[in-house]
Amino acid sequence: MEQIKNIVQSSINVKQDVLQNEDLLQTVQECIAVIVHAFKNGNKVLFCGNGGSAADAQHLAAEFSGRFYTDRDALPAEALHCNTSYLTAVANDYSYDVIYSRLIKGIGNKGDVLVGLSTSGNSANIYNAFEVAKEKE
């Protein structure tokens, strides 16, 4: 029972730390403004990640295209890893490091927002996707 309480308390502590971190809150506010601007200009948000981060990316995309708190029109958002045929073909034919960057080249438009999630911060495929996204700016 104590282990369960410690896990729950750890989650509470993280949320309290976020509330106290003005720099992080400012960054979140800036990200929201960028995404809102993209939607208002007819652009989309593309999400990518690996492993658990891919699951988080898919969940976030679903919240935009589904509903989140209120009933509203769907917003254009997509998790890039959901097409397993594409993913496995490109990983096999080229490299896992280019699975997202090739897709950004194909479907990304100027003004779209790319959200890459990486626990390690060292995911080559996420980094490469951002490099291609910068070229679209």
In the predicted structure, residue 57 carries a pLDDT above the cut 80 = yes
- Give the pLDDT score at 136: 79
* Element spanning 78, H or E: strand 77-79
pLDDT in tens, 85-104: 999 999 999 999 999 999 99
Mean pLDDT, rounded, for 41-61: 97
Residues 21 and 61 in one domain: no
Q: In degrees rounded to 5, what are phi and psi of residue 7?
A: -65, -45
Residues 101 and 114 in one domain: yes
Q: Is 70 helix (H, G, I), strand (E, B) or coil?
A: strand
pLDDT in tens, 2-13: 999 999 999 999
Q: Quote the Cα angle for 50-51-52, to 5°.
A: 110
Residues 55 and 85 in one domain: yes
Confidence of residue 21 (pLDDT cuts 50, 70, 90): very high
Structural domain count of the chain: 2
Residues 60 and 112 in one domain: yes
- Give the pLDDT score at 38: 97
Mean pLDDT, rounded, for 44-72: 93
Cα 87 to Cα 79: distance, rounded to the nearest angstrom: 12
Residues 28 and 66 in one domain: no
- Give the pLDDT score at 67: 83
- Give the pLDDT score at 30: 97
Cα 104 to Cα 128: distance, rounded to the nearest angstrom: 10
Give the residue numbers spanning the domain of 93: 42-137
pTM: 0.88
In the predicted structure, residue 137 carries a pLDDT above the cut 80 = no
- Give the pLDDT score at 86: 96
Look up the CATH number of the domain holding residue 55. Answer: 3.40.50.10490
Residues 93 and 58 in one domain: yes
User: Minimal CA–CA distance to 83: which of 105, 108, 100, 66?
Assistant: 100
Residues 65 and 102 in one domain: yes
